Structure 1
């Protein structure tokens, strides 16, 4: 009888343990995410998936070995400039942005310990929790609007993912850059900020507000974005007329489209713009990722230095080749040669 009772007890315990979720079986802890929510996560987070492009990009630099999948395929020309841990990962989409929409059920097959989500003020966070929380995995929101968020976000991730040393290394670099750029910009005389137009589309007539998260890098670098307004949508890319651009007299144009940048000097309409006539149209570097926007990422740590030097070369002297090599080595663990630099900076 005693033996029978012991066997029953063992069977019941086994059934109970097998019915628990992975988080129940692992030792768990309570954290407060960057949205102020209390979340139970495993003591040791070894696998993560990001539902949002900006957070994924941050993980490319901070913890590529912990990612279990990507939001979109990596372009062939970008692969030599990225950590090898990323190259062969499967692609499963994202909550928003370009690329495929994500199927919540597919996440389970990846077996991540947590899901990370961009704390985006234009998103319906409750809807994201409802949609993706049903798979039974912890959802952790993190800030990633722009480079100003990254020191705090990196230290937060370092704390919950047991990577404090790496987090501090990257956070300290960004803080140092922000401080140096701020000091330089503070020396610009009142009313002396360079007027900048941000041209995003192939025709040059889509832009973003000066108070948009899409233009944070321009703002931090001390540029006076001529499109003065508040961001009203997540995507931005607001239409503007060429007459408005001519009237606002930008001294420089920061262009996302190579076609626009190369075509504007021979376009009689665009030659009415001072920046075009004077040859001050600059193409944003984008290998392996955009230096200033779409999506915002850690690359802004290099992008705001490039911009500050374009705007105020005397106030912010900048050896772009040396700093690019240093940045790629630190953030992407890639050593660049001269041919790489030519490809990135062309």
Structure 2
């Protein structure tokens, strides 16, 4: 009897190990599930979008504020925001997978999340290819691989088409204004810098050390970008209106001002590393093409 029980236990263990799912998250850590995730908590708006794209929207049992796309995401119970998480509510939801934004969620709560013993996947795509890879990996954890592959392939195709059409066009120097007070931009260590490049643009502050550097008006004037781009309110409503670039119009000698190349793009399309960034990229590519058309003959 003991022998039979031992054989059954070993067989069950082997079966469990055989069906375990392991992927590598964006920190390089391995995430292993004994079975496909059925109850997922999403701790960033972009994560929610990626989970839906991967075919797992119906399995999200909790999400943070501003998880507003697609429309179905708006009815998911909230478990906090990027500043504070409701850990008690997360525990009550009995998740079998938590997907976290490494630099967006409150660092002081990460240790408490890890103490729950629930597998954690850290999501922070830094390149356009990472978005497709993230969809595939989440599809593996959810066992929705075919749906995830279709979404990942469609995104990769859209980006490839834009790159083929615009990347070799005459370069346009671009200043991306993240915020106006203090004046902030992005260096090359982010997805949107790559978007600028695939549109044939050049990020004038790509070489800055900080990922989101604070800069001066004088630095922008010295760089003299041919185009200035900022994000505008989309589905996400910030605490106050994003800058409308009016501040630059006083500097009439600035090339972007002189040629009317002040552009705004829906922030949800360019600030979230999700498949929708392909739509934002298409808008930026059209804007930079407009800038080329406005060059003196």
Judge same fold: TM > 0.5, yes or no. yes
Give the Å deviation of 1:136: 2.2
Cross-structure match for 1:43: 35
Deviations 1:7-48 (A, max 9, x none): xxxxxxxxxxxxxxxxxx9x9725133244444414232211
> Which stretch has the larger CA shift, 155-164 or 30-39?
30-39
Listed as ranges, the gaps of 5+ residues in structure 1 are 1-24, 316-346
Q: 1:53 offset after TM fit, Å?
A: 3.9
Q: CA deviation at 1:249?
A: 1.8
Separation (CA, whole Å) in 2 of partners of 1:173 and 1:314: 28
Residues 78-227 of structure 1 correspond to what in structure 2 (within 5 A)?
Answer: 82-84=70-72, 86-94=73-81, 97=82, 100-118=83-101, 130-188=111-169, 192-202=170-180, 205-213=183-191, 215-227=193-205
- Is the 2:51–2:138 contact (alpha carbons within 8 Å) kept by the matching residues of 1? no
Residue 255 in structure 1 maps to residue 243 in structure 2: no
The residue aligned with 1:343 is: none
Question: Residue 176 of structure 1: CA displacement?
Answer: 0.8
CA distance in 1, matches of 2:245, 2:32: 52
Q: Secondary structure of 1:239's match?
A: coil
Within 2, Cα distance between the matches of 1:56 and 1:148?
18
The superposition leaves residues 285-314 of structure 1 with CA deviations (integer Å, 9 ceiling, x where unpaired) of 14xxx1111x43332121112212222369
Instruction: Output the TM-score relative to the length of structure 1.
Output: 0.66
Higher strand residue share: 2
1:239 aligns with 2:230: no
Number of aligned pairs? 266
* Structure-2 residue corresponding to 1:272: 253
1:191-248 CA-to-partner distances (Å, cap 9, x unmatched) read x410111112245832122344453322332211111324535xx2x22222222222
Q: Secondary structure at the match of 1:284?
A: strand
Report whether the alignment pairs 1:303 with 2:277: no
From 55, 58, 61, the equivalent of 2:50 is 58
CA spacing shift, 1:228–1:136, aligned 2, 3 Å: closer
Structure 2 CA distance for aligned equivalents of residues 242 and 38 of structure 1: 44
Note closer, same or farther for the CA distance 1:310–1:259 as it changes in structure 2 (3 Å cut).
same
Q: Distance in 2 between matches of 1:70 and 1:299?
A: 19
Q: 1:260 is paired with a residue of what secondary structure?
A: coil
Match of 1:29 in 2: 20
1:42/1:113 contact within 8 Å kept: no
Aligned residues of 1:105 and 1:135 also touching (Cα < 8 A)? no
Cα separation, partners in 2 of 1:136 and 1:28, compared to 1, 3 Å: farther
Whether the 8 Å CA contact 2:98–2:119 is kept in 1: the answer is yes
Q: 1:306 to 1:163 in 2, by over 3 A?
A: same
